[in-house]
Structure 1
Amino acid sequence: MKRRTFVKGGGTVAVGGLTGLAGCNAPSGDGAEGTTTETTPAGTTAEDAAETDGTTTEDGGPVQVAMISEGTNYYFDPIGLFVEPGTTVEWVNQSGSHSATAYAEGTGSAEVTRIPDDAEPWNSEIITEQGGTFSHTFEVEGTYDYFCIPHKTLGMVARIVCGQPGGVEGNPPDGEVPAPQDIVDRGSISYEEFAGDG
């Protein structure tokens, strides 16, 4: 049973042009060690963000995930993403105020760890600027669950599989995400597709 209802469709990898504002108005901060944080507007469009090989986009840039507030829905799009080791994922704040924070105990408000044992956790802190970005490079194979700090209890969670599934089973404690093997098989699962499946 899905905890959220999808209202309006978005792209498979990135969604643009949404203007709703919601969430906290806290300043963005530096990410965890091993990450790169940017808070300048993203320069790529949804079309540029089409994933080509699990490592980069068509234009050679990072793979993008949109962070979206739309009415009472708060979500990452795609909600499930497959990447190869060495891939940089860039989260883009399309609307509202969001974070991209790994489920690693003690990171953000995480009370459990749902990333591979040897992986570096990440935390973008809250990004308030529309178009603001945060990037993290995935090196360790396995399954990674993550959340938005201000919207975690509203089910704003997502999953990335790097290389091959492993390390976590089931859903994170705050919402539902696609199964790891479904993510591997499909490459990318949009929020709309996942919400429509339930």
Structure 2
Amino acid sequence: MDLPNPTRRRLLASGGSGLAIGLAGCLGGRDDTAAQDEDDPEGETTGAGNERGGDHEHGSHNHDHDTDHEIGQPVSEITVEMITNDEGKHFIPHVVHVEPGGTVEWVLKRGAHDTTAYHPDVYNGQQRIPDEAEPWASDHLSDEGATFERTFDIEGIYDYVRAPHERDGMVGTVVVGWPDPEGQPGLETPADDRPDAAVEGLERYNEQVRAVLEAGPDGQSSTEAGHDHDHGHSDGSDHEH
């Protein structure tokens, strides 16, 4: 049974709306890691595994972007900026948390970017979205203000990438609802064939997401809750704090 595609896109800069989904041409798999880009015309960054790409410390800067949206407080809709700046190429915020049925809108602020799910159907590489979820791959967005929008109905962890800039660590994560961390492809160890900068980012985001999910909506892990509940009562008394 064909599932409805939850993705819809709008190119505000060109005045278009309701454009058709462009996944059909991507279903054979996509490997853009060595491609040159409109915002990288000189080809200064090359394919995965090169020294420049491998040495790029995307997560080493003191970015404030990770705190722009607090994981653990899911929202119904949120905007993620796609930007090229002096520090590199980024999705901002890097990690967002939405409710089931929530919408994420990616908007191009500077450069030329796309947003593509980590899934073999749309990008050659490791699957890092829920098994039952449908992957997405936006068009290449080059006009400032252009957007791509997707609604996330299935609870889980969704990792995604800017295809040609994976080598620069341009990856992001969408958390939907409060999934059990166990069994989530998006929380697995990144594949060895991914560029170092992407692996570094994914591992860092994984750590943040896992900590929040294990703490739960009340912000307290089951272990901590049990410790607080039993604290000071080892003698069986009914002492009230």
Q: TM-score, normalised by structure 1?
A: 0.63
Matched-pair contact (CA < 8 Å) for 1:81–1:159: yes
Aligned to 2:166: 152
Which of 2, 7, 10 is equivalent to 1:38? 10
Per mean C-alpha deviation after superposition, the further-off stretch among 129-138 and 159-168 is: 159-168
The one-letter amino acid of 2:74's match is G
Which of 39, 46, 54 is equivalent to 2:74? 54
How many Å apart are 1:125 and its aligned residue?
2.2
Moved over 3 A (4+): 170-174, 182-185
The separation in 2 between residues aligned to 1:50 and 1:155, in whole angstroms, is 20
3-state SS in 2 of match to 1:84:
strand
The one-letter amino acid of 1:96's match is G
Residues 183/105 of structure 1: CA separation in 2 closer, same or farther (3 Å cut): farther
The separation in 2 between residues aligned to 1:154 and 1:83, in whole angstroms, is 26
Matched-pair contact (CA < 8 Å) for 2:103–2:150: yes
Which of 210, 229, 237 is equivalent to 1:181? 210
Bigger relative contact order (CA 8 A; separation at least 6): 1
Measured against aligned partners, the alpha-carbon deviations of 1:108-166 in whole angstroms (never above 9, x if no partner) come to: x3322100011111111210011100000001111110000221121100111111244
The separation in 1 between residues aligned to 2:142 and 2:5, in whole angstroms, is 21
Aligned-pair identity (%): 35
Q: Counterparts in 2 of 1:13-162, with a 5 A limit? A: 33-41=5-13, 54-56=74-76, 62-71=77-86, 73-107=88-122, 109-162=123-176
3-state SS in 1 of match to 2:75:
coil
Per mean C-alpha deviation after superposition, the further-off stretch among 63-72 and 176-185 is: 176-185
The separation in 1 between residues aligned to 2:107 and 2:178, in whole angstroms, is 25
Matched-pair contact (CA < 8 Å) for 1:161–1:183: no
Q: Which structure 1 segments of 5+ residues have no match?
A: 1-31, 42-48, 57-61, 188-198
3-state SS in 1 of match to 2:100:
coil
The one-letter amino acid of 1:128's match is S
3-state SS in 2 of match to 1:86:
strand
Per mean C-alpha deviation after superposition, the further-off stretch among 175-184 and 97-106 is: 175-184
How many Å apart are 1:170 and its aligned residue?
4.2
The one-letter amino acid of 1:149's match is A
Matched-pair contact (CA < 8 Å) for 2:74–2:177: no
User: Which has more helix, going by share of residues?
Assistant: 2
Larger Rg: 2
The one-letter amino acid of 1:181's match is R
